[in-house]
Chains A and B, each alone.
Chain A
Amino acid sequence: MHIGKWAALLSVFWILLSGYIQPLLLTFGVISIFIVLIVLKRMDDVDKEPKRISFRKQNIRYLLWLMGQIVSSSVHVTKLIWSSPDKLSPALAKVSVKNVPAKKQVMYANSITLTPGTLSVDLQDGEVTVHALQKSSIEELEQGDMEEKINGNWSKKK
Chain B
Amino acid sequence: MFILDIVSSLLLIAGVFFGLSGAIGLFKFPDFFTRVHAASVTDSIAAILIIGGLLLQTSFDLNTAKLFFILLFLMLTSPTASHALAKSARHGGLLTLAETNKDKQEQTH
Report how far A71 CA is from B82 CA in the complex, Å: 18
Interface size on B, residues (CB 8 A): 39
Q: Which residue on chain B has the smallest CB distance to residue A72?
A: B45
Q: Is the CB of A70 within 8 A of B44?
A: yes
Tell me how many residue pairs across A and B have CB atoms closer than 8 Å: 104
> Does residue A100 face the partner (Cβ distance < 8 Å to B)?
no
Chain A nearest Cβ from B58, distance in angstroms: 13
Q: Which residue on chain B has the smallest CB distance to residue A118?
A: B37
Q: Is the CB of A110 within 8 A of B98?
A: no
Mask of A113-124 contacts with B, CB within 8 angstroms, 1/0:
111110111100
> Does residue A141 face the partner (Cβ distance < 8 Å to B)?
no
Residues in A with CB closer than 8 Å to B25 are 77-78, 80-81
Q: Is the CB of B44 within 8 A of A116?
A: yes
| A19-B62, A88-B30 as given contacts; A74 in contact with B44, CB under 8 Å | yes
Most buried by A among B25, B66, B78, B97: B25
Report how far A24 CA is from B82 CA in the complex, Å: 41
> Does residue A146 face the partner (Cβ distance < 8 Å to B)?
no
> Does residue A50 face the partner (Cβ distance < 8 Å to B)?
no
Q: Would you list 12 pairs from A and B whose C-beta atoms are within 8 A, ordered by A residue?
A: A19-B62, A74-B44, A88-B30, A92-B98, A110-B79, A113-B80, A116-B44, A117-B37, A119-B83, A121-B86, A129-B90, A131-B86
